[in-house]
């Protein structure tokens, strides 16, 4: 009995340590999910075919979904140090990637934050001239 315990206990400890460190087999790609939702939100923002009220409703729903998805990405330990182009690009610009959080932090509309990050402001739009390229 004692012998069984002697063998089983270290094995159990090893198993526990391995379970803590082993990556889960079903890997949910939080970053890809967030990027997909963000792309849909931007598409809704730029869609000229829909009415302003409908856009407002859609953006509100997308904002709430994106809020959770952004938090999932920010809390995802599996992304720490994962040196892929997508992850590098995502963390290179917090304001552009985590649009909902950055907008709420600055008390600005989503569209304003996004356009500001792309370098488009009211002044630059007003100064723009229509012409043929």
Residues that bind other proteins (CB under 8 A): 10, 13-14, 17-18, 21, 63-64, 67-68, 71-72, 74-75, 79-83, 87-88, 91-92, 94, 98, 100-101, 104-105, 107
Q: What is the DSSP letter of 79?
A: G
Return the number of the residue (16 or 39) whose C-beta is nearest other proteins. 16
Smallest separation (angstroms) from other proteins to the CB of 4: 14
**Cα 33 to Cα 100: distance, rounded to the nearest angstrom:** 15
- Please state, in angstroms and as integers, the Cα–Cα distance from residue 99 to each residue in 1, 54, 116, following that order: 60, 21, 11
Return the number of the residue (81 or 119) whose C-beta is nearest other proteins. 81
Chain centroid to Cα 42, Å, comes to 13
Smallest separation (angstroms) from other proteins to the CB of 25: 16
């Amino acid at each position: 009995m004692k012998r069984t315990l002697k063998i089983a206990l270290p094995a159990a400890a090893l198993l526990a340590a391995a379970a803590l460190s082993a990556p889960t087999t079903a890997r949910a790609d939080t970053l890809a999910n967030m990027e997909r939702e963000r792309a849909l939100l931007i598409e809704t923002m730029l869609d000229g075919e829909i009415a302003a009220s409908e856009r407002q409703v859609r953006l509100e729903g997308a904002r709430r979904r994106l809020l959770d998805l952004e938090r999932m990405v920010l809390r995802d330990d599996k992304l720490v140090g994962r040196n892929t182009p997508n992850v590098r690009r995502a963390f290179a610009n917090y304001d552009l990637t985590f649009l909902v959080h950055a907008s709420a932090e600055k008390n600005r509309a989503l569209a304003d934050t996004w356009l500001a990050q792309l370098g488009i402001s009211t002044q630059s739009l007003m100064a723009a001239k229509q012409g043929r390229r």
